[in-house]
Amino acid sequence: MLILYGHAGNTGRPLYARSGPEQARRMSGGPTSGPPWKLAYNATMLTLRTHETIDDIDATAWDALAADDNPFVSHAFLAGLERHGCIRSAFGWRAQHLTLHDDDALVGAAPLYVKGNSHGEYVFDWAWADGWERAGGDYYPKFLCAVPYSPVTGPRLLCGTGTDAHQYRSILVKALREITEQTGLSSLHVNFLRESEIDAFDDAWLSRSDWQFQWHNVDGWRDFQDFLRALTHKRRNAIRRERAQVVDAGIECEFRDGGTLDDAEWRSMHHLYTHTFDEKGNTPTLTLAFFRHLGAAFPTHSHVAFARRDREIIAGALFLSSSDTLYGRYWGAREQIPGLHFELCYYQGIDHCLRRGLIRFEPGAQGLHKLARGFLPTRTHSRHYIANTEFRAIIRASLQREMALLEARGNELLAHSPFAERDAPRP
């Protein structure tokens, strides 16, 4: 697909547009015919293209636009998902990454997918899909700008840090909206974007927020004892008891960089991951080959916390990290031991952050039990473009009611802060 934008103005009128059912088939993988779809604007052109695989995009140029070392938007992470069988039509995912070019230079990009369902997104729109289909519409396929299977805040409009970055972000947002309209798909969703990207979206986009529980070292704690001293007496003693339960059960824990794991250890971690998904009746979409890829591509920024009894692995938790943040992703256990989930998924991670000087720990979506263990509610952001104006108005009204409840929920959660001095919810 090719789209052309004028270099000077942020808006323009399309001279040519291919739309309707044929383009919808093109984007969702069906048979197509005829010339490629494009929009042309002015004489001096910025060019927008879509790509069905990220391997078509230069890795160094993509990573330079991300402007930080968030591992989830890195070319290596997204390419690993595609190469190792995690992005499949059978799972409801098809890559359609968007790039913006100034002549031959890549100046903007967005991780974009055509979705056949809402699995693996963590911003729940099942009720929207049900309402639209009850009204006789087709909610799927839809577009999603996000990182597959990862409820992790990070850049979604990758435009670097140059003086033109804001203009390029605005162009990408306009292109996302126009692609949705021209293809005839129901909607486009930008999930877990950064606060710094919000200004690129106009009022046609619906705003949605939620709370995630995250750990922040805002007080400069030097070790786990420093962290414990910041908690209330009740919570401090409770965490000490939980950690002691694991030790008393004869369990030894270790936190390892992914590059140090051998193949048998990666097999064990993958087995634990699939076991957890199977127990819950969900489909484990990440392959063993992708787990191995994490260790090879991120040798010092992928991590596994193992629990062993008599040297045998009985539980594990998988993490990734950037230069300042630890991200918890998956866990599994072969037997249930009191306190072990909290030890591997939370306390081992906090210990790692304190050793490495990381200031934030995002242990994943949901989980009210995280609050009592030092993880405070932190706001996440998403933006949603609903093509049908009447349906958009209905969802907008629903989101306004949801926002009022969300604010009340944040205040309620902070009333139960485990810290001796309670903080406000984090923006």
* Average pLDDT for 107-126: 97
Q: Is residue 278 part of a domain?
A: yes
Q: Evaluate whether residue 367 is within a structural domain.
A: no
* Residue 370 forms part of a structural domain: no
Confidence of residue 45 (pLDDT cuts 50, 70, 90): confident
Read off the tokens for 221: 């704690």
DSSP state of 92: T
Indicate the average pLDDT of the chain.
90
CATH code, domain with 158? 3.40.630.30
For 183, residues 6+ apart whose C-beta sits below 8 A from its C-beta are 19, 23, 24, 26, 27
Query: Could you tell me if residue 299 is inside a domain?
Result: yes
- β-partners of residue 378 are 212, 426
Claim to verify: residue 118 and residue 41 sit in the same structural domain: yes
DSSP, residue by residue, 143-166: EEES-TT------SSB--SSTTHH
Count of CB atoms situated within 10 Å of the CB of 20? 11
For the cut 60, the answer to whether the pLDDT of residue 24 exceeds it is no
- Number of domains, the chain: 2
Read off the pLDDT of each residue in 380-386 and give the average, rounded to a whole number: 98
Domain match, 34 and 179 both: yes
The SS3 call for residue 308 is strand
pLDDT of residue 348: 98
Sheet holding 2-6, edge to edge: 2-6, 45-51, 97-102, 105-110
46 and 69 share a domain?
yes
| Residue 214 included in any domain | no
Assign 33 a pLDDT band (cuts: 50, 70, 90): very low
> In the prediction, which pLDDT does 119 show?
96
Q: What is the pLDDT of residues 79-100, one digit of tens each?
A: 999 999 999 999 999 999 999 9
Q: Is 263 exposed, middle or buried (0-12, 13-18, 19+ CB in 10 A)?
A: exposed
Judgement on whether residues 292 and 396 belong to the same structural domain of the protein: no
Per-residue pLDDT band for 425 (boundaries 50, 70, 90) equals: low
Tell me the residue range of the domain where 233 lies: 219-358
Confidence of residue 415 (pLDDT cuts 50, 70, 90): very high
In this structure, are 147 and 293 located in the same domain?
no
Torsion from C-alpha of 191, 194, 196, 200, nearest 10 degrees? -10
Please list the residues that pair with 72 across neighbouring strands.
none
Cα→Cα distances 309→247, 273, 341, 349, Å: 10, 19, 15, 20
> Do 75 and 189 lie in a common domain?
yes
Q: What pLDDT shows up at residue 97?
A: 98
Dump pLDDT digits (tens) for 130-145.
Answer: 999 999 999 999 999 9
Q: Which of 61-65, 110-114, 345-349, 412-416 bottoms out in mean pLDDT, i.e. has the lowest?
A: 412-416
Whether the CB-CB separation of 339 and 307 falls below 8 Å is answered with no
pLDDT of res. 366 = 83
- pLDDT score of 25: 43
Taking the model in full, what pTM does it have?
0.90
Residue 420's pLDDT is 86
Establish if 284 belongs to a structural domain. Answer: yes
Residue 347, pLDDT above cutoff 50: yes
Q: What is the DSSP string of 336-351?
A: --TTHHHIIIIIHHHH
Is 426 contained in some domain? Answer: no
C-alpha 40: how far from its chain's center? 32
Pairwise CA distance, residues 341 & 314, whole Å:
11
Residue 44 pLDDT greater than 60, yes or no: no
What pLDDT does residue 426 have? 54
Does one domain contain both 200 and 298?
no
Residues 77 and 195 both lie in one domain: yes
Please state, in angstroms and rounded to a whole number, the distance separating the CA atoms of residues 128 and 131.
5
In the three-class reduction of DSSP (H, G, I as helix; E, B as strand; rest coil), residue 376 is classed as: strand
Residues 324 and 254 in one domain: yes
Angle ∠(319,322,325) on CA atoms, nearest 5: 75
88-116 average pLDDT score:
97
Q: Please determine, for residue 288, whether its predicted confidence score (pLDDT) is greater than 80.
A: yes
Same domain, 227 and 205: no
For residue 314, pLDDT beyond 90? yes
DSSP 207-228: EEEEEEEEEE-TT---SHHHHH
More confident residue, 102 or 19: 102
Q: Is the pLDDT score of 47 beyond 50?
A: yes
Question: How confident is residue 67, by pLDDT bands cut at 50, 70 and 90?
Answer: confident
Please report the sign of the dihedral spanned by the C-alpha atoms of residue 165, residue 171, residue 174, residue 176: negative
Taking only the tens place, the pLDDT of each residue in 366-375 is 889 999 999 9
Where helices occur in 343-384 by DSSP H, the ranges are 348-356
Whether 97 is covered by a domain: the verdict is yes
Whether 27 shows a pLDDT value over 70: the answer reads no
**Cα distance between residue 297 and residue 288, in whole Å:** 14
pLDDT, one tens digit per residue, over 196-219 is: 999 999 999 999 999 999 999 999
Q: Is the pLDDT of residue 15 over 80?
A: no
Tell whether 57 and 179 lie within a shared domain. Answer: yes
Identify whether residues 203 and 230 lie together within a single domain: no
With beta carbons less than 8 A apart as the criterion, state whether 198 and 383 touch.
yes
Q: Mean per-residue pLDDT for 28-35?
A: 36
**Cα 364-286-334 angle, rounded to 5 deg:** 75
The reported pLDDT for the residue numbered 39 is: 41
Mean pLDDT across the stretch 222-251? 97
